[in-house]
Structure 1
Amino acid sequence: MEEESRFGFGESHAKVILIGEHSVVYGRPAIAIPLKTIKATSTIKSREDGQIIIHSERFDGLLADAPSDMTGIKKLILDAVRKQNYQKGLEATLKSMVPIARGMGSSACVAVALARALFSFFSLHFSEKELLAAANIEEVATHTNPSGLDAATCASNTPIWMMAGKIKRIPINLDGCLLICDTGIKGQTSEAIAAVKKRLGSAAKETNALFDKLQELTLAAKKQLAKNDLLGLGQTFDAAQSVLKTLGVSCDELDEYISVAKDNGALGAKLTGGGRGGCFICLTKNAAQANELAQKLSLTGVRQTWIEPLADKEEKNVL
């Protein structure tokens, strides 16, 4: 293959944690689902001048000059170049629909898309394990100690179950739609995690009881996803939001938006991710109801919404 003809393409999608936020840090289970309509793509083409160029919304120029918040991207590209002993240049273009700091896996989504593009560029076959290991190069640089949940979900077409650091896929057989809503408020994940840790130190028994309740609800959600129990899952969402509010990881704005969603027909609604801002999710019967609810929430200040169908009859996993 002539070097000038080299080309690579990779794609990924966003994710949300369906249930199990915060308690997953303490060994309880969590479920995350892929948002396949919210994508990131990466294309790579070769250059004869030996330069490595990157194009993205955050930065456009020589990879060596990329800002510190793109250190993970830089490491992922340079690691691939080194391993393949590639001596010529390349030009990487990154595009993402995933908002930053909203609990939707923005960095992991881009990392998976870029890793796939690099494997494609170098004409390499790869396993899921190799894909996630490559994406993890970026995630470690960005998040220091990532759980792996984000990258695994961004690379999967089916929900991911995580407990005590172990990850596996679980089935989904659920009619209805998920409405993802961006409050426009940057999520305060580190603050929320610190607050939960402090609460655990001062009220261990009560806090562990809340974690146990979230585990119970997560186990229920797993069954509801598999058995098409839409109404049951909505009730599980509401119960989980009540626990998260008691834990202190919600906020007035989230509580108000969730109340509006419930008043306007949501089967269930809860925050997703770290909390104290970011996104919340609403369960609806169908896309029409989700659209109607999205319009009403936009009038109350919700910044952006996405509708994700939950029914997936194919359940194919494409690396």
Structure 2
Amino acid sequence: MILLGEHAVVYGAPALALPVAELTVTATAAKSSHPSDAAEDVTFTLAGESGPLVLVGAEGLRSLVAEFERTVGVTDRPHLDVIIDCEIPTGRGLGSSAACARAVVLALADLFGAELDSGTVFDLVQVAENMAHGRASGIDTLATGSPYPVLLSGGVAREPRIGFDGRIVIADSGVAGRTKDAVELLRRGFDNDPAAGEDFVAAATELTREAVRELADGRAEAFGERLTACHGLLAGAGLSTDRIDALVRAALAEDALGAKISGSGLGGCMIASAEGPEHAERVERRLREAGAVRTWVVPIERFTGHAR
């Protein structure tokens, strides 16, 4: 889940993401008895309810498999059967493509007995992410492999300090977005008006930096205000929808500390910041009444920031 900095991170701005531990992906890989075909040497099968994923990301995953084989020196190129069980709803800005790619990399490593360092895993996942999104910043790849919040700034990832205990409520609008479409929308706009692009990146950078300071200093209300301001920035760039805007208004009407769209936009999820479990429950209930099809609550905790 992106807290702040989505889209702008591709242009060098910092971004802050929070892993959602209850949404998981499992992948298993096995050598098949089927004869290998150079054009079709891996078969992906989906378990669970996330059928659309491979339809939109299969080519990236195939490229990932090919790069994995080159990296570890697989020479016999057997036909592979890969089964993916994804609990993350697709097209919602929750990192499903990165999580699935990471699961596939680790499944292949298990199959071939390969020991991969974190940098190699990152590079392999990015092969699929760059095909899925056109140009991936790496924030999803990092966050789906971390038990802690991730701040990506200047190409360096670290865990931010958290000075308060709170909750982030995630609400699914029920409408899938397409990251590639949203990225292209912004790119065309920035090409037509470079000054607007510079202003967008500068504003996103300042909001994220301020939010990181407020997060560390325990200023929960000010942190929430940055979330809401970020929503205004993203909505002004044409990335929100009427349904997302309605959910943001509903959360704020329930005294959420802040609320915004999360992820690429043009659909997907919104998030709201709450003070604690009871407040989060009220916000969650109001969001469901306002049309959210699913909701999740993720702790954001003092000092450790470990989402569990």
Distance 1:313 1:116, change over 3 A: farther
Distance 1:155 1:292, change over 3 A: same
Counterpart residue type for residue 244 of structure 1: L
- Counterpart of 1:169 (choices 136, 158, 173) is 158
Equivalent residue runs for 1:18-167 within 5 Å: 18-46=3-31, 53-57=43-47, 69-81=57-69, 83-85=73-75, 90-163=80-153, 166-167=155-156
Alpha-carbon distance in structure 1 between the residues aligned to 2:125 and 2:11: 24
Alpha-carbon distance in structure 2 between the residues aligned to 1:211 and 1:145: 16
The two structures have a TM-score, normalised by structure 1, of 0.80
Greater shift in the superposed pair: 121-130 or 19-28: 19-28
Distance 1:41 1:85, change over 3 A: same
Distance 1:312 1:124, change over 3 A: farther
Alpha-carbon distance in structure 1 between the residues aligned to 2:35 and 2:74: 15
Counterpart residue type for residue 72 of structure 1: G
- Counterpart of 1:285 (choices 275, 286, 305) is 275
Alignment coverage as a number of residue pairs: 294
Residue 161 of structure 1 and its aligned partner are, at CA, apart by 2.7
Give the equivalent residue in structure 2 for 1:3. Answer: none
> Could you list the runs of 4 or more consecutive aligned residues of structure 1 that deviate by over 6 angstroms after TM superposition?
none
Give the equivalent residue in structure 2 for 1:237. Answer: 227
Unmatched runs of 5 consecutive residues or more in structure 1: 1-15, 60-65
Distance 1:203 1:145, change over 3 A: closer
Alpha-carbon distance in structure 2 between the residues aligned to 1:19 and 1:133: 23
Residue 205 of structure 1 and its aligned partner are, at CA, apart by 4.2
Alpha-carbon distance in structure 1 between the residues aligned to 2:57 and 2:87: 18
Contact conserved, 1:49 with 1:89, CA < 8 A, in 2?
yes
Alpha-carbon distance in structure 2 between the residues aligned to 1:207 and 1:56: 39
The two structures have a TM-score, normalised by structure 2, of 0.83
Distance 1:49 1:313, change over 3 A: farther
Residue 305 of structure 1 and its aligned partner are, at CA, apart by 1.1
Contact conserved, 1:160 with 1:168, CA < 8 A, in 2?
yes
Contact conserved, 1:50 with 1:90, CA < 8 A, in 2?
no
Alpha-carbon distance in structure 1 between the residues aligned to 2:192 and 2:133: 27
Counterpart residue type for residue 158 of structure 2: R
- Cα deviation per residue 1:39-62 (whole Å; 9 max; x = unaligned)? 111123455666755421467xxx
- Alpha-carbon RMSD across the aligned residues, in angstroms, is 2.8
Residue 286 of structure 1 and its aligned partner are, at CA, apart by 1.8
Counterpart residue type for residue 5 of structure 2: G
Give the equivalent residue in structure 2 for 1:299. Answer: 289
Counterpart residue type for residue 167 of structure 1: V
Contact conserved, 2:133 with 2:180, CA < 8 A, in 1?
no
- Which structure has more strand as a fraction of its residues? 1
Residue 175 of structure 1 and its aligned partner are, at CA, apart by 1.1
Unmatched runs of 5 consecutive residues or more in structure 2: 37-41
Residue 195 of structure 1 and its aligned partner are, at CA, apart by 4.3
Alpha-carbon distance in structure 2 between the residues aligned to 1:26 and 1:179: 27
SS at the partner of 2:137?
Answer: coil
- Cα deviation per residue 1:236-278 (whole Å; 9 max; x = unaligned)? 1112122223333223222211011100121100111222321
Give the equivalent residue in structure 2 for 1:311. Answer: 301
